[in-house]
Structures are given as C-alpha cells and as structure tokens.
Structure 1
Amino acid sequence: MRADHADLTAFDTTIGRLAAALKRDGSIESLDVRRSMAVGIIADPARAQALLEATDAKVPAAREVFAYLHLTEANLLGLDPVTLDHTGRPHLTQTVATWAGRDDLRLTITPVHHCTGCARCESARGAHTHDARATTQHDPRPHQRVQVELQDPTCVFPYCTRPTRSCDLDHRVPFPEGATCPCNLTPLCRHHHRLKTHAGWHYQPRGPAGAGEYDWTDRYGQRFTRTREGTQPAHHL
C-alpha cells in the first residue's frame, strides 16, 4: 500500500489497537496473526468501532466470503487438507472451517452442478431432453453462467486470458438449433466472439465434456489447441 506517511502511521496505529483488542477479548493468536485479522476487521467499520470501544454489542456480519471450492470426498473426510478453487488456487480446508466458525463473516455454501456429459446433454442438436427454456430462451440463466465460469475461468480463444465473468457465452451450435445449456455454451470475450462469428474462426471441443480443451482453426487454416494450461499451435503438438 502506498500512501502519505501520516496516513500510514495512523493506519498502523489502528491495526495495533485492534490487535490488542482481539487479545483482550480472548484471542490466543500471535501478534502477527492478530494484526492480519485486524486488516480484515477494518473493512467492517461497525465491528472495528465495537472492538475499539470495548462494547458488548453484537454486530451483524457485514463481510461476505465468496469462493468456489471443489470439495472432494477426501476433503470432507479429513483425509486431504487442501482443496482447490475454480482457478486452481489451493486453500486449506482448515481455513474454510475457520471461516464457517467466525461471527464477523457471512459464509454461503452453494452446491453447483457441473454439466459434464450427462445423458440429457450428450447432444446439443436433434432429439434431447433439455427443458423448454433451453430451446426457447437465448440468454443463459444465472446458474448456467456460474457453471460455465467454473468449467472455463477465462475466454477460450487462443492466448486470451480475459475472465469469463466479463465474457459472452457463445452457443457452439447456434441457437435455437443448439440449446442454451452449459453443454453448448463457451466463454468468449466480445472481441473474440466477433472474430468467431464474422471473421472465419471456428472451434470444436476436444476430449471429454468439461475438459476445457478446444481445437481452433482460423480463416487461413492455421490450427491451435487451447487448454487450461495455455495455447499451442497444432504443429507443436
């Protein structure tokens, strides 16, 4: 953090006061840990004020933890201490359990269904069992966008790294012939969506459903393979 010396000094002083207040209220953590906790508390002014004034008033949680975590059976049984989020970043399950026990955080746990080749999604065209909205509604529903974001965190055009949350969701098989379903939706940023639609680029999924691998071909016949690890021209494969 870069700021005026006077402001940083005041900030550091407040961090120290909050760390001391945490110890006063029973925290057994080290000073460094309590200071790191104090940084988060400052983001919740009501709780920070209550701590500094030593009031006993119960302050409703004002901060929310938002993360998609892939919990396996081993995680839940305590056999694997590490879980991954949708970007591949590791998190200790002990840390997640600590979040659940804190009264200053709102922790929401939401199950997410991954569309990875189930019977109803084997085909995006022809006879299938998608619900009526999948074939009559062009725009994906919020939970469908979440599924696509978890499957492909970024635009899948070669070399692009724009996050999926700011991308269009392309129908691989054009709507309405192709369903509005995660099995037929791919994240493309607006620029690359236009290249695919108007400039002769085309692609096909590679490997099993949900693998995050795509074969791309440009208007001149050059081919690229895009995976979660990056992009490679076809002649390097």
Structure 2
Amino acid sequence: MRTRLNRFLQDLESADRLEHIQGLTTQLRDALDIDHVVYHWISVDGEQYGFGTYDPVWAQRYQDQDYIRIDPVVLGCFQRFHPVDWKRLDWSSKAARAFRADSIAHGVGNQGFSIPIRGPHGQFALLTLSHTCPDPVWEALMMAHQRDLIVIAHYLNAKALTLQKGRAPDSVRPLSPREIDALTFLAMGYSRGQAADMLGISEHTLRAYIESARHKLGALNTVHAVARAIGEGLIIVGGAAKDAAGGWPGQVPDRSVASH
C-alpha cells in the first residue's frame, strides 16, 4: 500500500494538465481499495469545482438540489482545520438525514472521511474518501493511512492551484471595525444576542453587519464568513478560547450517528 501511495505522489508531481487530476483521484481510490475519492474546491460564490469518482448523476443532483447549503460535511469542515470522520459530524436535522439517505442511495457509501484544505487568499477545498463497510474496517483503514492522506490532500490542492491558470482564489474586501467585532464575537462562541449586547447594538443591526461582512467575504453562510475571516487574518481569536475538542465555546458538538 505504501508503495502505491508513493507512486501516486510521483504521478501527481509529474502531472502537467488539469485533466490528469481526474485520473489521479481514480488511482488513489484504487490504491486504497475504496469506493470513492473526491477533490472538491468550493469557490466563494458557491461554484462546485473538482474531480472525483462519484456517479455523475449524484454530482448533478447535488448541484440541482443545492445540497451544499445543508451538507454536514461541507458545513462541518468550514469549522475545522483537521480531518474528520463523517460519524463525528452533526446529522441530527431532518434535512441532513434526508440528504444522507439520498447520498447513500446514489452510492456515496456509509463511511466517509474528509480533509479540509485552506489555500492562499482564503481558498477552501476538501479531499474526501468514502466507502461502504463496517465501522471497524473503516476506522482501521483511516488510522493506517491518515498521515499519508493529509500530505496527499495538500499536494493535490497545490497542484490544482498551479494547473488551473487564471483561477486564483478571490481576494476579499476590507471589513469595517463593526463587522470585524461582530464576526470575532461569533467566532468566540457567543450567540447573536450576546454579541449584540456586548457591542451595545440591536440584534437587527448586528445581523446587518454580519450580512455585510458575509457579502464582502463572498461567504456562503455565517460559518463560512467566520472561517474565511480567520483564514484571511481579518479576525484573530486566541487559542485559549477553544475548547478541548478544538472547537469554539457554544459550537454545536459533534454527534455520532448509528447508521448513515
């Protein structure tokens, strides 16, 4: 297995056309002997860009149903800087459960593992692996190869940035002091009501600042806006504010799901 993964990195290094990445995702899938590998770059305007082995019918359905706005994998990875097993994400909402059932029906698999990637200028991407197998089998596979996969994810993203000429991640517009304050308090885990009280403004005014900041950042939602502002260095939240799990106080906790 290690030999096959090293061969993948060698082939990735020599890739000189964007189309080669599609073949590389298939090569990585076969090396790991799993169902799917997907490299997914989510642009600030919500455009889906990437390569992978999902059924094209599912890829089109994902876009048609605008699943990006409810997908716990995307939303959860916006809040994280480390790889995450899908079982640790929040699938508790009715919409999330319906989405999960639909994805399994389209062959995505009952197991998943995603690696968030943050590139220059707030770029956000994911390397995702999925499979259908029992929990112990999946856990053993990911434990054996997690370090290699993290390296692969970042090399793959760097190659995509190099090969996709003219597609540099969008720069962001400066935020006002009030917009920075609003996002900072949200990043620290305060509710909107608490943030408004601390700023001495109404929740309606706070929402206006948040929406203005979201628009300037080109973010899909508030969580994405906070993540992008942190990634751009527009807001700074001290490490002491983080809880032991690596999230922010007040952040929705991870929840395991009995079945996918």
TM-score, scaled relative to structure 1:
0.24
Q: Which protein is richer in strand relative to its size?
A: 1
Q: Which protein is richer in helix relative to its size?
A: 2
Q: Which has the higher contact order (CA 8 A, sep 6+)?
A: 2
TM-score, scaled relative to structure 2:
0.23
